[in-house]
């Protein structure tokens, strides 16, 4: 289990598969560069970023799902640790940002949908919501997606949200973290912070 978390009562977490751009997004939000490897699964522990004067921490959790060269049992262990972390701190987590790769997410979900299998992204989305944690799905790398609205509608459909996606702008946020184009996500996060009377945290988003 991860045990490096600073003692803070308010938290926003980034979750998602390996290589979807969570660390890039973290850098955009904090201005701070974290160690990221070229290989998926390099981040095995959470990256926490906290501001000493504030009772708030931003956490980038390790990537889950398939990782090249990482044994199945290690992958399962990481996923179990992520789930345990989210369950442990659910009360303190104000918003979870589920980062997905806009170009690949539909194919990945469809490839893993079957009678005995729920795709990780869909499972995580519902798991977070079931725990009462507001979720923003940051659909990253949108600069590489030509059929934008169609792709976002399809993602809503897979997540059990009725398309069109534009009616879910507090939940679905198309971004390109590498280019610093993350406004739809920060607006969605602010919406959920406001709902919880935490406008004081807007300075971080």
pLDDT (tens digit, 9 = 90+) per residue, 53-67? 789 999 999 998 877
pLDDT (tens digit, 9 = 90+) per residue, 4-56? 899 999 999 999 998 899 989 999 999 887 665 555 555 578 889 988 778 99
What does the pLDDT read at residue 43? 57
C-beta of residue 66 within 8 angstroms of C-beta of residue 55: no
What does the pLDDT read at residue 1? 58
CA-only gyration radius of the chain, Å: 16
The phi and psi torsions of 15 (rounded to 5 degrees) equal -130, 160
Provide the 8-state DSSP code for 162: P
Q: What is the mean pLDDT of residues 101-126?
A: 90
What does the pLDDT read at residue 116? 76
What does the pLDDT read at residue 139? 98
- pLDDT category, 88, cuts 50, 70, 90? very high
pLDDT (tens digit, 9 = 90+) per residue, 139-174? 999 999 999 999 999 999 999 999 999 999 999 999
Q: What is the mean pLDDT of residues 103-118?
A: 87
The helices-and-strands tally (H runs, E runs) of the chain is: 6, 6
Tell me which of 3.40.718.10, 3.40.50.300, 3.20.20.70, 3.30.930.10 is the CATH number of domain 11-204: 3.40.50.300
C-beta of residue 192 within 8 angstroms of C-beta of residue 170: yes
> Hey, where are the domains in the chain?
11-204
What does the pLDDT read at residue 35? 62
Q: What is the C-alpha to C-alpha distance for residues 130 and 126, in angstroms, rounded to an integer?
A: 6
Say whether pTM exceeds 0.85. Answer: yes
CB-based burial of residue 184 (10 Å sphere; 0-12 exposed, 13-18 middle, 19+ buried)?
middle
């Amino acid at each position: 289990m991860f045990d490096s978390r600073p003692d803070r009562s308010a938290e926003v977490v980034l979750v998602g598969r390996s290589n979807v751009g969570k660390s890039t997004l973290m850098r955009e939000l904090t201005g701070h560069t974290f160690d990221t490897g070229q290989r998926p699964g390099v981040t095995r522990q959470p990256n926490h970023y906290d501001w000493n004067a504030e009772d708030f921490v931003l956490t980038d959790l390790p990537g889950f799902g398939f990782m090249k060269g990482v044994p199945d049992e290690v992958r399962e262990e990481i996923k179990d640790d992520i789930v345990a972390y989210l369950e442990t701190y659910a009360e303190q987590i104000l918003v979870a940002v589920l980062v997905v790769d806009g170009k690949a997410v539909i194919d990945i979900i469809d490839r893993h949908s079957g009678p005995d299998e729920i795709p990780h992204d869909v499972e995580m989305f519902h798991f977070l919501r079931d725990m009462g944690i507001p979720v923003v799905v940051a659909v990253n790398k949108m600069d590489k997606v030509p059929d934008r609205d169609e792709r976002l509608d399809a993602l809503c459909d897979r997540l059990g949200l009725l398309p069109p996606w534009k009616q879910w702008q507090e939940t679905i946020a198309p971004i390109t973290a590498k280019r610093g184009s993350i406004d739809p996500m920060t607006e969605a996060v602010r919406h959920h912070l406001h709902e919880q009377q935490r406008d004081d945290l807007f300075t971080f988003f």
